[in-house]
Amino acid sequence: MPINVLLVDDSAVMRKMIARTLRLSGVPLGDVVPCADGRQALEVVRQRPMDLALVDINMPVMDGEQLLDHLRDDPRTAAMPVIIVSTESSPVRVQRLRDKGAYFVHKPFTPEMLRDTIHALPGLANACHVCDPVAAGGDCDF
């Protein structure tokens, strides 16, 4: 089953690179919805459910950590898996984001790193929601 991805980064170039990397990773994608900041992302998730959010930290208007707080505070999005995709190097900040339930992928990254992180997310790949085990002959080879 394809997953719908919210892609939040203030750099249009980075949004394109992440979307391309997602396609190369082999993750079965539905819609990939790009947003330039956290406020735009909140507008999207209020209009339609998303399966996963890939979020940069340092953005104007509303940064990634503020977005994560808003997502966690809303019962409709509290359980949405969030992967922080950033160059952030502060161990304190990275741990704070992990404590809020976010996963972390450091830029630069490979398609395999992104795929493996998505595969580790509870409720997505672990439950074979992103692959069709019947079509795969009973195996989830995600």
Number of domains in the chain: 1
User: Looking at the domain assignment, is residue 119 inside a domain?
Assistant: yes
pLDDT digits (tens, 9 = 90+) for 91-131: 999 999 999 999 999 988 888 899 899 988 887 643 333 34
Q: Which amino acid is at 104?
A: F
User: Looking at the domain assignment, is residue 69 inside a domain?
Assistant: yes
User: Looking at the domain assignment, is residue 141 inside a domain?
Assistant: no
User: Looking at the domain assignment, is residue 79 inside a domain?
Assistant: yes
Distances (CA, A) of 69 to 4, 19, 135: 21, 24, 38
User: Looking at the domain assignment, is residue 140 inside a domain?
Assistant: no
Tokens for 126, please give them: 């672990």
According to DSSP, the residues that pair with 54 across neighbouring strands are 7, 83
pLDDT at 24 (0 to 100): 87
The CATH number linked to 120 is: 3.40.50.2300
pLDDT at 83 (0 to 100): 96
| Mean pLDDT within 2-23 | 94
pLDDT at 140 (0 to 100): 40
Query: pTM for the complete prediction?
Result: 0.85
75: Cβ contacts below 8 Å, ≥ 6 apart: none
Q: Which domain holds residue 115?
A: 3-127
pLDDT digits (tens, 9 = 90+) for 32-81: 999 999 999 999 999 999 999 999 999 999 999 999 999 999 999 999 99
User: Looking at the domain assignment, is residue 136 inside a domain?
Assistant: no
User: Looking at the domain assignment, is residue 142 inside a domain?
Assistant: no
User: Looking at the domain assignment, is residue 18 inside a domain?
Assistant: yes
